[in-house]
Chain A
Amino acid sequence: MIPTPKDNYDSQVPNPNDFLAVSQGDFLSNFGQLYNAFVRNHIALDAASSAGNHTNVELVQLPVAPHTNVGEISLYSKNVVDQVSQFFLKFQGGNVQGQEVQMTNYQLYFNQIIQPGQFGLFSMLPGGLIIYFGVVFASGTNPVNTLVLHPYITKNLICINLCLSGTTPGISPWVSIVPEASGIIKKLTLHDALPGFAYFYIAIGNT
C-alpha cells in the first residue's frame, strides 16, 4: 500500500517492520519537507551552485536573549517595549563581553523639515540610542530660538553639539531643556545664538 504523503517532517521513520514500498513514501515525504524548509532563507539543495548559502535571514522574534558560547556571537530579534521587534547582537558568554546590544532602534525617516528654520535627520546607534542631526537657523533674538528633537521619543538627552555654519567665526549657542510634563524631551532652547546664522547640530538621546 502506498502511504499518503505526510504534512510534516517525521523524524521517527522508517519503522522497522515497514516494507520498502511504505518507507519509500516516508523518505519522499521527509526529503520533500526538508527541501521545502531548507529553501527558505537558503539557496536550494538542488541549485547548480552555492547550495547551502543563505539568501536572506528572516528572524522569528525570541522572548529572551539566547545563550551564546565562548567564541560565538548571536544575532536575533526581540521585542522592545513601546517599539516593534528589533535586531539584537549578543557577544560571547562567560565574561564581560557577554553583553546584549540592541542594534536597531525605532524607525528611520529622512529629509524632514522639523520646523521652519530647522532641517533635521535622525538615525540610531547600537544600545537603543537615537542620534539627531541637521541644521537649525537662528532667526530671532535671544533666547527664542528652539531646536526640536523629532521624533519625540528621547527620555534622556545624553549630549548635544552645535557648530556655526558659514564663513564668519562666531560663538556657538548654549542650551537648556524645555521641560515637558510627559518627561519626553522634545525641545531645547538655544541661548546666545547669533540671529541670521545657521548651526549644524548633533544630539544623542536614549529611548
Chain B
Amino acid sequence: MSFNPNIPQATSKRVISQRQILSNFVEIFNSFAKNHSPLGNNDLQGKHNVLILRSQTLDPATTATQTALYNKSVATIPNLFYRPNNSQTPIQMSYPSINVGSTLTQQYSFVAGPFVVYMGIVLNPTNGQVVALTPVTTLRYVGVCVRNFVGTVVSSVAATNIAANTFTINFQAQIGSTRDVYYIAIGN
C-alpha cells in the first residue's frame, strides 16, 4: 500500500481512519529509510547513507543561491551532472567507466567535462610505433617522457601524428638504444 495524502476523511469512521493513518506512518518510515538513516535514531536520522539518483529528462533549474547534482543519461547511460547557480550551463562530472587496475601499460580515468585522461607506459617501443588508446575519443593533448634510457646519445621523444585516438612515438635516431616511454593524454 502506498502513502495516501488524502486521509483521514472527515466522514470516515475512526476505525477506518486508524488503519489509514497507521498505514501512512509505516509508508513514511519505509520511504524515509531509503537513502537515509532511518527514523528512530536521533543521532543519525535524516543523514544520508547513500544518494541514489534517478535519471532526469531535463536539467533542473537553479536560483542564484542554489546548485544541483543530478543524474542525466548520455547516450542512454546515466551520468552525474552538476549545474551551477542561476541555471548556468550543466557540467558532466563523470565518464561511464575507468580502468585503474593492476595493468600499468594503459589506464584511464576522467575529469569533469567530461574528458578522459589516459596514462601508462609503452615498454621499449620502436621509432614510429603507433599507440592507440581506448576508449576511443579525440585526443586533445599528448605528453611523453622517456624512462630507463640505455644508450650513448641523449634521448629525446615526441608524440606526433596525433589523430583521433592514436599518436606516434617519434625518437631521435639512436641506433642500439633502448628506453620505455611514459605517456599522458587527454581526449574528449
Interface residues of A (CB under 8 A from B): 7-16, 18, 20, 23, 27, 30, 33-34, 36-42, 53, 57-60, 62, 66, 68, 71-76, 89, 91-92, 96-97, 99, 101, 125-129, 156, 158-163, 171-172, 174-177, 191-192, 202, 204, 206
Cα A175 to Cα B46 in complex, Å, equals: 52
Known: A36-B42, A73-B78, A175-B145. 14 other contacts (CB 8 A): A11-B29, A11-B30, A16-B15, A53-B66, A57-B48, A59-B51, A60-B44, A75-B50, A76-B51, A99-B96, A160-B145, A160-B182, A171-B154, A174-B145
Distance in angstroms from B50 CB to nearest chain A CB is 4
Give the contacting residue for A159; candidates B32, B69, B119, B156; CB below 8 A. Answer: B119
Cα A192 to Cα B39 in complex, Å, equals: 65
Q: Which residue of chain A has the shortest Cβ distance to B153 in the bound complex? A: A192
Distance in angstroms from B10 CB to nearest chain A CB is 14
A73/B71 contact (C-beta < 8 A), A91-B96, A191-B149 known: yes
Interface residues of B (CB under 8 A from A): 14-15, 18-19, 21-22, 25-26, 28-30, 32, 36-37, 39-42, 44-55, 66, 69, 71, 73, 77-80, 94, 96-100, 104, 107, 109-111, 117, 119-121, 143-149, 154-156, 179, 182-184
Contact assessment for B146 and A174 in the assembled complex, using a CB-CB cutoff below 8 Å: yes
Contact assessment for A71 and B100 in the assembled complex, using a CB-CB cutoff below 8 Å: no
Contact assessment for A172 and B111 in the assembled complex, using a CB-CB cutoff below 8 Å: no
Contact assessment for B182 and A161 in the assembled complex, using a CB-CB cutoff below 8 Å: yes
Q: Which residue of chain A has the shortest Cβ distance to B154 in the bound complex? A: A192
Distance in angstroms from A102 CB to nearest chain B CB is 9
20 residue pairs A–B, Cβ–Cβ below 8 Å = A9-B39, A12-B26, A37-B39, A39-B46, A40-B45, A40-B47, A53-B66, A58-B47, A60-B48, A73-B71, A76-B50, A125-B117, A126-B94, A158-B121, A159-B121, A162-B145, A174-B148, A174-B149, A174-B155, A192-B149
Most chain B CB atoms below 10 A, which of A9, A20, A68, A97? A9
Q: A13: which B residues are within 8 A, CB to CB?
A: 22, 25
A161/B109 contact (C-beta < 8 A), A126-B98, A192-B154, A206-B100 known: no
Q: A18: which B residues are within 8 A, CB to CB?
A: 18
Cα A125 to Cα B119 in complex, Å, equals: 12
Contact assessment for A37 and B98 in the assembled complex, using a CB-CB cutoff below 8 Å: no
Q: B44: which A residues are within 8 A, CB to CB?
A: 60
Contact assessment for A16 and B18 in the assembled complex, using a CB-CB cutoff below 8 Å: yes
Contact assessment for A101 and B94 in the assembled complex, using a CB-CB cutoff below 8 Å: yes
Q: B110: which A residues are within 8 A, CB to CB?
A: 125-126
Contact assessment for B42 and A7 in the assembled complex, using a CB-CB cutoff below 8 Å: yes
Contact assessment for A59 and B154 in the assembled complex, using a CB-CB cutoff below 8 Å: no
Contact assessment for A72 and B46 in the assembled complex, using a CB-CB cutoff below 8 Å: no
Contact assessment for A158 and B107 in the assembled complex, using a CB-CB cutoff below 8 Å: yes
Cα A177 to Cα B145 in complex, Å, equals: 13
Cα A206 to Cα B51 in complex, Å, equals: 27
Contact assessment for A72 and B42 in the assembled complex, using a CB-CB cutoff below 8 Å: no
Cα A57 to Cα B15 in complex, Å, equals: 40
Cα A127 to Cα B116 in complex, Å, equals: 12
A11/B25 contact (C-beta < 8 A), A34-B32, A128-B100, A156-B104 known: yes
Give the contacting residue for B148; candidates A40, A176, A206; CB below 8 A. Answer: A176
Q: Which residue of chain A has the shortest Cβ distance to B27 in the bound complex? A: A11
Q: A206: which B residues are within 8 A, CB to CB?
A: 100
Q: Which residue of chain B has the shortest Cβ distance to A65 in the bound complex? A: B50
Distance in angstroms from A57 CB to nearest chain B CB is 5
Q: B184: which A residues are within 8 A, CB to CB?
A: 159-161, 202, 204
Contact assessment for A163 and B15 in the assembled complex, using a CB-CB cutoff below 8 Å: no
Most chain B CB atoms below 10 A, which of A39, A125, A171, A192? A125
